[in-house]
Chains A and B, each alone.
Chain A
Amino acid sequence: MSDLESALGRTHGSPVPTAAGTGPTPPPVRSARSRATERVIGVLALVGTAFTVWLGLWVTPPDRTQGDLVRLVYLHPGVAWVALYLAFGLAAVSSLLYLWPRTRSLFWDRLAAASVEVGVVFNVCTLVSGSIWGKPTWGVWWAWDARLTLTAVLLVLFLGYLALRRIPAEPEVRARRSAFVALFAVLDVPLVHFSVNWWNTLHQGATVLNPGLTLKIHGSMAWTLLLGFVSLTLAFVWMLLVRYRIGVLEDWLDANELDAALAERRSEGTGPGPAVPSEPVGVA
């Protein structure tokens, strides 16, 4: 299958029906309201994070046992929550919604893809910050404890999903394939969670959402912790919106670039007629 043929095949399979290649379809527009919402969320995230950093590094007191090392609690569990629960959860739900016939729409696919990509970033943040926190606390840069290992496995699953998406295909085919992979990963996570937990554990017994954790943290520390969570969540949402938009634009370009290029090429030639080649002939 020549590159041109497969490219044409992709164009014809675009979700927005092109009337026999008569030119590009209307580009996806953004309402002023969505742009404003995004801006507001972005600003809030930025301000919130800055505030968290200020509070975390200077205002809050050091912990009785961990000393200054506790300050990472204002960011690390936050990014972990975003990566492991928010991003992954959203990707899972979106993928399922895409697979479910009644709610099938490329919107869910693009949302899942955006969620996974942003999730990878937060996941890396989790692992690196966890490692940095672990070195002075446990003495090692890495330990095969349950939660770290699960986070690492999740990262690899995310990366596999992204790698699969990079393979060129029609949007619907790619969406289905990715959704299945996401579904398999979702099913795997509880299994990995149990295996790795029985296998080893070094982390604090508390989970991110464990109320026991917040009991030991009170006053300004608790508020800073909450602010950290909220700010990071807002940051995730903002990144999600931008990344989603990127997905929409990329898909539109994939579908329409060729049509437009063909139209451009034809009109560059000696006017409309069969003698106009669609690719430059290799004349030096």
Chain B
Amino acid sequence: MAGIAVNRAGTTQLLMGNEAIARGALEAGIGVAAAYPGNPSSEITTTLAQAAKELNLYVEWSVNEKVALEVAAAAAFAGVRALCAMKQNGLNVALDFLSNLNLTGVGGGLVLVVCDDPGGISSTNEQDSRHVAKALDLPLLEPATFQEAKEMTRWAFELSEEIGNACILRSVTRISHARGNVTLGELPHRKYRARFDTSRKPYASIAMTTPPVFHRALHQRLIEIAGIFESSPFNRYVGPENPELLVVTSGSGWLYSVEAVRTLRAKGSAGILKLGTTWPLPHNLVRANLLRTSKVLVVEEIDPFLEGNLKELAADIEPGRTWRFFGKASGHINPFGELDPDVVINAVARILEADYNPRGADYEHTAQQALQGLVPPRALQFCAGCPHRTTFWAIKSALKMDGRDGFVTGDIGCYSMALTSTGFSQIKTVHSMGSGMGLASGLGKLDRFGFDQPVVAVCGDSTFFHAVIPALINAVHSHSDLLFVVLDNAATAMTGFQPHPGIETNAMGEEAPKLEIETVCRALGVTVEVTDPYDIPGTTEKIVGMLRDRGKPRVLISRRECALTRAKREKAPYVVRVDQGRCRGESCGCDKFCVRVFKCPGLVWNGDTGKAAIDEALCSGCGVCAQICPRSAIVTRVLP
């Protein structure tokens, strides 16, 4: 990965889609990249950050996606090519700026990469970002392979400069997080002289009547873009002159479609139109291909975006001419969740009335029985030694002692898993970044309607800076009754440990001013306490006390480094073992308390001895479980 900046042109590498996008940006000679981490987009900026020193780039992990897009746009205003990457949820954060930026345009090349997450593998939703391109009249590109991810990113900068506006490149998990062959191109030697041209008309759409004028100009520009797309090499048809079935596909759908036609040996009856430029559609190209046949299957991930646009276009082709469209509306392709090769193979087989039964009924039966009866599920869980586990343990104990049916409003991070039993099912709401605090601020004002439950908002350190500060200010100004617990593990852990404003280094590894969360909170006039979540009784006591102190927001910072980052740096503090004499096993009244309730993966139940044991391969050596055994059978020894 670190070699992307130095790898020579002409060599072929096995690159992750996100690395290919990063390489494409480098081949376009970008000067600036800004992003907020979020899977499946994070590796784009991580890769660029690794190349920053060598290629004299400026790369930053911004405080949130809106600021990231503003930082990138600023570079483009000053004539420096810039890339901004985010996940679909992040696009919502950036949308307010983007829906004005489209009207003013940009000076240099600006490419916005949005990585959607079909199936919500690492997300709270599976929103389809392509609608935003259509709504904002911006060009949309969708790479179908790893090589294309690179080529498209490079070309997107040329297009952006040609049209004077931002381009949106939409990737998905199966492109961004998969790997494939990529042949590298040249890295240009670009020298920028950044300058904001004060003599040009302002980048502003505001002035009495100008928004509609700008909007009209944008529509005019779309027609030009569609013209450029007509001859784009990213669109191509492969198949018979007049196939029985035309498969129209974009993005990850293309490889699945090729797989389907190959698997069903249907090359003689099905042709594939691959579209890489999906908004605005190149009308003539699409029209010519639709006229090959009357049956069309649309294969794309998440919403029927392309499907709807094709139908819209088809309606105007020829009076009386109709097509039978298959896809999400017809039920041949799932309109939610991910695609996979079987979905597309089955859809093509159904339409062509071909048999597809890859492994026989008996095999299928045995396989399904094994999956349902034999294979146990693997649920979400906090890592061994995770400080979130102990914070939620303390919150749970404190809320129980308090006895007023208090609850937790959650946020986005590893700690969202406290929705489930790994965090003792403490979290009752999870929405977007910062929402836990905003909801708590509202709940804390319902006392006049008889609301008397304690509210605990939680968020991580990176989320605190991203979106929680305005909500906290709101709570302060409105005397909202809540306890706010910051789960400070000194990392954006869920997305790969990227730095944030609370860390003393930046994306490029340089020293950066570290903002103390308690300093920020105290400046807002809030009482702040700090606790170590590994000290379960101490943390519990603090929470109980702070729950009683009512009528305003109170802040508790639960601070302990992520167990994974600690383990990378230093040896475990303790050797932990279960004293087999003291552990009473199944005869103890605790009913396997340590493994059943505390549930650290480092603790296991030995079926042979009927007693608890430590899994040495998984135990992080934090020693916290020694605090929870009612028999004190878990013992720790300090490592020399």
Are A and B co-members of a single complex? no
By a beta-carbon cutoff of 8 Å, the part of chain B in contact with chain A is: none
Instruction: State the A residues within 8 Å of B (CB).
Output: none
